[in-house]
Amino acid sequence: MEELKSHKGSHTELITVYIPAGYDINSVSRQLEAEKSTAKNIKSTTTRKNVIDALDKIVRFLKPLKKTPENGLAIFCGNVSKIEGQQDLQFWSIEPPLPLKNRLYRCDKEFVLNALKEMLEVEEVFGLLVMDRKEAAIGLLEGKRIIVLQKLTSGVPSKIRAGGQSSQRFHRITEGLTKEFYKRIAEEMKKIFYDMPKLKGILVGGPVPTKDEFLDGDYLVTKLKDKVIGRIDIGGSDESGLKELVIKAQDILADQEIIHEKKILEKFFETLGEKPHLTALKKRETEKALKYGAVDILLLSKSLDKHTIKHLKEMAEATGAKIEIISTDTEEGIQFKNLGGVGAILRFEV
């Protein structure tokens, strides 16, 4: 991302192509072939050549691919030479860590990186469920983006009974259908969330009796039940209900961040006090531990300059260390900042 961001074209000759997850790769190739015809109308000979050469390179790359990778594909190609009139055609293809949602072709003076940038910011996701007895919607909160994953309907009839049905019989039918609906919701949630590594918690919204019946009943598997961090009273059970759920859960979501951060810092300060040989404090000591591959968890204060954060993160990533960025929104976070803002819990003594 840093490398792609650093390139600026002299003219509109840097090409960005986003292919969404599940999209037909052959239709993208056909579109790019058509773009070559359009590019022939570019007045500047040099720019025209650079754009057509870049399109050719992308089409040649796509030709042997039978299908789009699981999460889609982001392709960047263009002349990145800083010397006017000289060509330095470079190519990058990235399989993103999360599914690409939008399709894009853009020829500009810089690469379009917004969609990938958003993915880098998402280190954890929250499961969402809104439900009533008629319908349910399951979604995902990635950063600030809400994604609808599944919609279900129950088939539970309205309160008006079919002619001649007794009240008790009608009640038994509707209760049976409702329980089946709850089971279906639980099965879908298990399919979607059970093995999701970044899942931090689950929020459930709906009218008072329904969501409580579902959560208190024996429907959800224990692993997912333990992940429920909030049950919230809302009216909607569709896409708008998911948005309402997220708005009403802002305090819960903020608390989750603070709780996680406090636990990490508690562990760090406890280890610092009881086993100081298994910690590193301040930049110099931490850097040394990173060089030896001794760091298990690297802690960096948000107050540090970007260069220091980038440098230490790269060292940590090279040795498989976990990275925790610590805010200054808590007393512990401020205390950590005052101690230099850099520290680590170690795997072994250095």
Structure tokens that stand for 64 in this block? 């042997």
Is residue 108 domain-shared with residue 177, that is, in the same domain?
A: no
Strands 342-346 and 295-301, by their bridges, are: antiparallel
Model pLDDT, residue 121: 66
**Three-state SS at 150:** strand
- Residue whose C-alpha is closest to residue 92's, from 149, 28, 16: 16
Residue 185 lies in a domain: yes
Q: Which two tokens stand for residue 264?
A: 């990490």
- Residue 290: how many CB atoms within 10 A of its CB? 22
CATH code, 188: 3.30.420.60
Strand order from edge to edge, sheet including 104-108: 89-94, 73-79, 14-19, 104-108
In terms of domains, do 160 and 215 share one?
yes
Could you tell me if 207 and 228 lie in one domain? yes
| 66 and 158 co-located in one domain | no
- C-alpha of 16 from chain center: 21
Please count the other Cβ atoms lying within 10 Å of the Cβ belonging to residue 209.
Answer: 10
> How many angstroms separate the first and last alpha carbons of the chain?
33
Q: Give Cβ neighbours of residue 336 (< 8 Å, ≥ 6 apart).
A: 265, 268, 299, 301, 326, 343
Q: Count the Cβ atoms, other than its own, within 10 Å of residue 155.
A: 10
- pLDDT on residue 161: 52
Q: Is residue 302 part of a domain?
A: yes
Angle at the Cα of 294 from the Cα atoms of 119 and 341, rounded to 5 degrees: 60
Closest CA to 182 of 148, 156, 143: 156
- Answer yes or no: do 89 and 173 share one domain: no
Query: 253 lies in a domain?
Result: no
The answer to whether residues 153 and 243 belong to one domain is yes
Picking from 73, 103, 119, the residue at the C-terminal end of a domain is 119
Element (H, E) at 91: strand 89-94
Q: Same domain, yes or no, for 306 and 322?
A: yes
pLDDT of residue 165: 57
Token match 């009881």: residue?
274
pLDDT, averaged in runs of 10, over the chain (350 residues): 87 92 90 91 90 94 90 93 86 88 89 84 83 93 84 75 63 84 95 89 92 92 94 88 91 81 91 95 95 95 92 90 87 91 94
Q: Within this chain, do residues 269 and 341 fall inside the same structural domain, yes or no?
A: yes
CATH number of residue 331's parent domain? 3.30.1330.30
Residue 180 lies in a domain: yes
Q: Is residue 138 part of a domain?
A: yes
Beta pairing class for 199-206 and 125-131: parallel
Distance CA 285, CA 349 (A): 12
Look at residue 159 and tell me if it is in a domain: yes
Structural domain total, the chain: 3
Task: State whether 154 and 236 are in the same domain.
Answer: yes
Q: What's the pTM? A: 0.53
Q: Are residues 242 and 210 in the same domain?
A: yes
C-alpha closest to that of 349 among 280, 264, 266, 269: 280
Strands 342-346 and 279-281: antiparallel
Q: Which of 248, 268, 295 is the last residue of a domain?
A: 248
Residues 239 and 154 in one domain: yes
Tokens for 82, please give them: 């800083």
Alpha-carbon span 254 to 248, nearest angstrom: 12
For residues 158-172, one letter each, b for 16 or more C-beta atoms within 10 angstroms of the residue's C-beta and e for the rest, the string is eeeeeeeeeeeeeee
Last residue of a domain, one of 213, 248, 283: 248
Question: What pLDDT was estimated at residue 122?
Answer: 61
Q: How far apart are CA 35 and CA 107, in angstroms?
A: 10
Domain interval for residue 208: 125-248
Q: Are residues 200 and 226 in the same domain?
A: yes
Could you tell me the CATH number of the domain that includes residue 10? 3.30.960.10
